[in-house]
Amino acid sequence: MAAIFSGIHLKLKNSRTPWPDKLKLARFAWISTQCLLPNKEQVLFDWTSHALTGFYSKKVDVPSEVVEGLWTYLDDILHSRKLHNVLSQGKTISLRLTLAQVFTSTSVLQ
């Protein structure tokens, strides 16, 4: 069954995959125990970070409703029991500097 979901990382990176579908795939991958992706939590966090920083640096064309969904998804990740469990096991999740710069340069946190 896990093989069905093994291509998620490639679909998230594929420029031909529509943004709404990418966001749905990322949400599914986060909650699914059947989605086997090495270092899944960091990969999904990085994908979200990359999408947001790409949008704000105007390098990636992301529809505004998807940008809102990406912020919601990031918030869901950061407040999830799953992330808490991963961190309590001693694993780490790295924050990209560029995402931290987005935090400080946008009104998202204000």
pLDDT of residue 38: 82
* pLDDT less than 50: residues of the chain: 1-4, 108-110
Domain range for 85 is 2-109
Query: Quick one: how far is CA 32 from the chain centroid?
Result: 14
Tell me which residue of 52, 11, 56, 53 sits closest to 29, measured CA to CA.
11
pLDDT digits (tens, 9 = 90+) for 50-80: 999 889 888 989 999 999 999 999 999 989 9
How far, in Å, CA of 78 to CA of 64, rounded? 21
pTM: 0.81
| Lookup result for tokens 């640096």 | 57
pLDDT of residue 69: 96
Residue 64's SS3 state is: helix
pLDDT of residue 1: 41
Domain count, the chain: 1
Structure tokens that stand for 8 in this block: 């998620």
